[in-house]
Amino acid sequence: MKNGWKTREEMEATERVTLAPFAQKSGNSRGRKYPERSHAFRTEFQRDRARIIHSRAFRRLEYKTQVFLNGTGDHLRTRLTHSIEVASISRTIARSLALNEDLAEAIALAHDLGHTPFGHSGEEILAECMSDHGGFEHNRQSLRVVELLENIYPDFPGLNLTLEVREGLQKHERSAGIASLEAQTADLADEITYYSHDLDDAVDFEILTAAQLEENEVWSRSQQHVLGHYPDAREPELHKLIIRDIIDVQVQDVVTTSAASIAKANPKSPDDVRIHPAPLIRHNEELDKANQALRKFLYANVYYHPRVAEVNRRACEMLKKVFESYVADPRQLGEVAIRRLKQEGLHRTVCDYVAGMTDRYLIEEYARIAGK
């Protein structure tokens, strides 16, 4: 170490020795759209992670709904806590497979920056509002946030993240085949997180009965495992132990299954991963099938539950009303948004503005508009 700290070059050298040949090394990053000088003691992906965490869009996630409307329960998850949990699981998987933890974490932290207020219901209604104007999808919007909408640097728009992080945010439209293993890791960590933690929140919110839960294979298997170790466990501790077991089962399966699929494919570099015809980070077929059933279970019993659906319906009415009001009178937009009108067009500018709102701010704007 020089001068008592590890230099960036030393960190990059450590990566070359400790990470797998198919892991993305920060020293081999394909760079940024706008060239910048390297940092003295942070790698490129560490800089990306810091830029994401310090962004306004990241802070606003604290007041955006995950499933249950923000503010309806002190312990219920928000987009911010969800993103942090995805990052944590991403690091665990990446570390176990000798991948680049910093890259996986950066992608995980940024993956929902473009999400609307009011969760997936808000996304659906905003997509409806934009159906004749280029559409809306939160993964594309996350990329738009980091490439354009965050404006904290004087020399370039957006956060000027590395190509590898931006590639990882192009979840459904990657132009060059499969993404890095780190991006695949963040994708699957996202699924693990929202399946397990939406279950957790639904139990806390008291909209799932014990009988309903026991009908689901993923839940019942972990329940049996927990009770085998803790036969006297009772609520509310019991379901927390079950959720922890579900996550552990999911992560262990991803690590072991992915390690086997990587060994079979035998990629020699990150570029070999990108040209491989299928993702290498995955569950085994049995658990993947069980997870598909869990997804259907959540839609049937949680996401469309009357206590959730009715709140979301009212929230979406507010979002649509605010969107239409801004389109009718764009002078209501902030100064920064108004300056983008000529370049981006009316509907896209309004879409950007509404998508960036917190639940709380949109409710306040609706009250102001409805009170006119």
DSSP-assigned letters across all residues of 281-302: S---HHHHHHHHHHHHHHIIII
pLDDT tens, residue order, the chain (372 aa): 767 789 999 999 999 999 999 999 999 999 999 999 999 999 999 999 999 999 999 999 999 988 776 666 667 889 999 999 999 999 999 999 999 999 999 999 999 999 999 988 899 999 999 999 999 999 999 999 999 999 889 999 999 999 999 999 987 555 445 799 999 999 999 999 999 999 998 998 889 988 999 999 999 999 999 999 999 999 889 999 999 999 999 999 999 999 999 999 999 999 999 999 999 999 999 999 999 999 999 999 998 888 888 888 899 999 999 999 999 999 999 888 999 999 999 999 999 999 999 999 999 999 999 985
Query: How many whole angstroms separate alpha carbon 29 and alpha carbon 33?
Result: 12
- 162: three-class secondary structure by DSSP: strand
Tokens 């991803």 -> residue: 254
The residues spanned by each domain of the chain are 8-370
16 contact partners, CB below 8 Å, separation of at least 6: 25, 27
267 contacts 280 by C-beta, under 8 angstroms: yes
Structure tokens at 321: 């009303």
- Nearest one of 147, 296, 299, 284 to 217, comparing CA atoms: 296
Q: Tell me what pLDDT residue 173 has.
A: 56
Q: CATH for 8-370, among 3.30.43.10, 1.10.3210.10, 3.40.50.1370, 1.10.10.410? A: 1.10.3210.10
Burial class (CB in 10 A: 0-12, 13-18, 19+), 225: middle
